[in-house]
């Protein structure tokens, strides 16, 4: 590489007004040799010839000045020469040149030689100007084979978090501190939401009406989306060589522990409910408002609560007169998911054989509904039906036939087991709304509709059903997941197990005197009172 070191200044010719640059006589000591540069006038500079453009046109030399010491100019010239010497390929050398010029323009420094060498060796783009926001748009465009719910989740993460907090950052300059800062900002906004909801100002509450605090589990999903998008930038496009999202630490996202609604928990929760109903009534000036909303929003001991067998029985007794009783019975006893219950079709139900094929589901995306296959291969299954459930389904089919006759030409022959009064598929949220109302009217503590699935698993295990059968009934790939996630021990079952265990000890003497070993004298140290 052709490079030269020289000294220059900003003095101008008195006659023409042009800058003298390196021709200024004051750059050298008066009467001294050519090499005797002035120590008080001018600054050091260098000039370096650069590779030509792709069409052969000559590129302007790289000129840098303003160095106070000659060693500084020499060091940067050597740095620039080292960059241009990384590869002999003219195309790569032009890319390195463009990177050098762009980096100098943006930061006034040259890129690190080792960093550029690594990018050259791994065939990365040397001049990435794409921002995080631009890359996220490209990432989402490429994800053509994901289901609608996953796409909706990606879109929400990009719109709510990645674009506002990271969008303007160049992808290759995204750092761990940037990602950590995004999560810090999310936690701060959680505090804003909590403060606004507790405010008496309706305008403050309205600002966060559609925003919910982001919990640890959601933060982990947000990080997973970002990590996945950045991995594609590494593996497919080689835009970056490090994934900052992979090393950001987040609080543990422990799965909530399922708890049973024991009498003690019901009593404590019921007291809290009455206090909240009283406050709501006072706030409304004596009006009751909608007590079901207070019923649903009153905090529970855990986000996952399970009814006891007696409570489940009470719910089914209350739901027996509801037109969707058969659906709630299937979920409570057979553990169907909400979408699987809504998507059950008559052609997959064999009442004669006592079985139902779970081959379809209706899921909710925002407020829109999507019909499709179950979430996993294991979820596509056939479940057995008990005699009473078969009877309930027969009654439901007769009632549906009566509704079809009453609707006449307005009837929509959708083929689903559970429909509205004119045969149309049910919206999943409608099932939840009706469920909460029935539970409230039955005087039961609240559980989510999905928690009936937890209860179904616990009921089956309490009845002595093999774990493998429970796993297949629920549609899980692994029995370990079934055991760890969907089972709760009812107090009665736990007490019975304790009594059975203690009975083994209590009954032991009746089986004969035990054989005892004889220990030498002094082997056992007597326990002295006060020393434990």
Domain boundaries, the chain: 3-121, 132-246, 259-485
Look at residue 359 and tell me whether its pLDDT is greater than 70. Answer: yes
The confidence score (pLDDT) of residue 31 equals 61
pLDDT category at 523 given cuts 50, 70, 90 is low
Task: Compute the average pLDDT of residues 339-360.
Answer: 95
> What is the secondary structure of 32-73 as a DSSP string?
--TT-B-SSS-EEEEEE--PPPTTSPPPPPEEEEEESSHHHH
Domain 259-485, CATH 3.40.630.30 — does that match?
no
- The tokens describing 99, both together, are 């990177």
Q: Residue 371: enclosing H or E segment and its boundaries?
A: strand 368-372
Residue 492 to residues 310, 357, 495, Cα–Cα distance (Å): 11, 33, 5
- Listed in sequence order, the residues at least 6 apart from 149 whose beta carbon sits closer than 8 Å to its beta carbon are 363, 365, 370
Note the pLDDT of residue 476: 83
CB 122 within 8 A of CB 241: yes
Question: Quick one: which H or E segment has residue 6?
Answer: strand 3-8
Residue 504 has pLDDT above 70, yes or no: no
pTM over 0.95: no
pLDDT at 487: 64
Domains 132-246 and 259-485 share a fold: no
Q: Answer for the pair 27, 38: CB distance below 8 angstroms, yes or no.
A: yes
Strands (E), 309-458: 349-350, 355-358, 361-365, 368-372, 381-384
pLDDT value, residue 527: 46
**Positive or negative: CA dihedral 84, 85, 90, 91:** negative
Which residues, listed in sequence order, are joined to residue 368 by a DSSP beta bridge?
Answer: 365
Binned at pLDDT 50, 70 and 90, residue 389 comes out as very high
φ, ψ of residue 370 to 5 degrees: the values are -130, 130
Mean pLDDT is lowest, of 91-100, 131-140, 347-356, 495-504, for 495-504
Using alpha carbons, list the distances in angstroms from residue 438 to 192, 267, 295, 399, 432: 35, 20, 12, 20, 10
- pLDDT band at 408, cuts 50/70/90? very high
pLDDT of residue 514: 56
Would you say residue 331 has pLDDT above 90? yes
Q: How much is the pLDDT for 503?
A: 74
Show the tokens assigned to 456: 């179904």
| Under 8 Å between Cβ of 27 and 41 | yes
When pLDDT is cut at 50, 70 and 90, the band that residue 522 belongs to is low
Average pLDDT over residues 115-124: 83
% the chain with pLDDT above 90: 47
User: Residue with structure tokens 């709630």?
Assistant: 328
Beta bridge partners of 63: 47
Q: Which two tokens stand for residue 142?
A: 């490429």
Decide yes or no: CATH 1.20.1090.10 for domain 132-246. Answer: no
* Structure confidence at residue 300 (pLDDT): 93
Largest CA distance in the chain: 126
Q: Which residue has the higher pLDDT, 232 or 193?
A: 232
Q: How far apart are CA 13 and CA 25, in angstroms?
A: 11
Q: Which residue has the tokens 């609240």?
A: 446
CA dihedral 18, 23, 28, 30 (to 10 degrees): -70
d(CA 440, CA 34): 99
Question: Could you identify the residue written with the tokens 């079901």?
Answer: 292
Confidence band, pLDDT 50/70/90 cuts, at residue 91: confident
Q: Given a cut of 90, is residue 145 above it in pLDDT?
A: no
**How many angstroms separate the CA atoms of 350 and 337, rounded?**
19
Exposure of 313 in the CB half-sphere (CA atoms within 13 A):
4
- What is the rounded distance in angstroms from the CA atom of residue 158 to the CA atom of residue 162? 5
**Residue 418, pLDDT above cutoff 50:** yes
Query: pLDDT category, 121, cuts 50, 70, 90?
Result: confident
Weakest mean pLDDT among 208-217, 301-310, 394-403: 208-217
User: Picking from 306-320, 347-361, 368-382, which range would have the lowest pLDDT averaged per residue?
Assistant: 368-382
Write down the mean pLDDT value for the chain: 86
34 vs 442, residue with greater confidence: 442
| pLDDT at 450 > cutoff 70 | yes
Integer CA distances (angstroms), 418 to 324, 391, 396, 456, in order: 7, 16, 9, 20
State the pairing for strand pair 349-350/305-306. Answer: unpaired
Question: Does position 81 have pLDDT exceeding 70, yes or no?
Answer: yes
């Amino acid at each position: 590489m052709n490079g030269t070191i020289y000294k220059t200044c900003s003095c101008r010719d008195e006659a023409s007004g042009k800058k003298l640059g390196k021709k200024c006589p004051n750059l050298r000591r008066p009467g001294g040799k050519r090499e005797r540069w002035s120590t008080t006038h001018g600054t050091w500079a260098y000039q370096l010839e650069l590779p030509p453009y792709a069409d052969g046109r000559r590129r302007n030399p790289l000129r840098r000045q303003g160095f106070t010491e000659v060693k500084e100019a020499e060091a940067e010239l050597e740095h620039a020469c080292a960059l241009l010497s990384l590869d002999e390929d003219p195309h790569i050398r032009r890319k390195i040149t463009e990177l050098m010029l762009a980096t100098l323009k943006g930061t006034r420094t040259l890129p690190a030689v080792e960093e550029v060498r690594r990018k050259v060796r791994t065939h990365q783009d040397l001049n990435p100007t794409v921002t995080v926001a631009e890359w996220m748009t490209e990432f989402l465009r490429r994800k053509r084979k994901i289901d609608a719910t996953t796409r909706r989740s990606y879109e929400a993460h990009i719109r709510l978090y990645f674009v506002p907090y990271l969008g303007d950052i160049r992808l290759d300059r995204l750092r761990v501190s940037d990602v950590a800062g995004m999560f810090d900002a999310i936690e701060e906004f959680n505090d804003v939401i909590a403060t606004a909801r507790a405010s008496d100002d309706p305008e403050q509450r309205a600002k966060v009406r559609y925003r919910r605090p982001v919990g640890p589990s959601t933060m982990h999903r947000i990080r997973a989306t970002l990590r996945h998008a950045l991995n594609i930038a590494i593996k497919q496009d080689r835009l970056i060589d490090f994934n900052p999202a992979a090393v950001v630490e987040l609080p543990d996202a422990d799965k909530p522990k399922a708890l049973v609604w024991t009498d003690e928990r019901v009593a404590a929760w019921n007291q809290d409910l009455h206090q909240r109903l009283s406050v709501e009534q006072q706030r409304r000036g004596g009006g009751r408002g909608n007590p079901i909303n207070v019923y649903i929003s009153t905090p529970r001991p855990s986000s996952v609560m399970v009814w006891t067998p007696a409570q489940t029985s009470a719910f089914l007794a209350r739901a027996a007169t509801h037109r969707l009783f058969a659906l709630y019975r299937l979920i409570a006893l057979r553990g169907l998911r909400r979408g699987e219950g809504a998507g059950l079709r008559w052609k997959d139900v064999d009442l004669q054989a006592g079985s139902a094929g779970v081959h379809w589901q209706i899921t909710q995306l925002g407020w829109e509904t999507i019909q499709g296959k179950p979430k996993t291969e294991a979820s596509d299954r056939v479940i057995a039906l008990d005699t009473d459930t078969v009877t309930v389904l027969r009654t439901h089919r007769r009632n549906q036939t009566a509704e079809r006759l009453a609707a006449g030409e307005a009837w929509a022959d959708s083929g689903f087991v559970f429909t509205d009064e004119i045969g149309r598929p049910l919206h999943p949220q409608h099932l939840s709304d009706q469920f909460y109302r029935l539970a409230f009217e039955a005087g039961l503590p609240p559980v989510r509709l999905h928690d009936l699935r937890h209860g179904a698993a616990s009921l089956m295990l309490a009845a002595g059903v093999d774990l493998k059968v429970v796993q297949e009934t629920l549609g899980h790939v692994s029995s370990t997941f079934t055991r760890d996630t969907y089972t709760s021990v009812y107090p009665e079952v736990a007490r019975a197990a304790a009594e059975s265990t203690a009975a083994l000890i209590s009954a032991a003497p009746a089986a004969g005197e035990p054989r005892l070993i004889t220990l030498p004298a002094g082997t056992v140290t007597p326990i002295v009172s006060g020393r434990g």
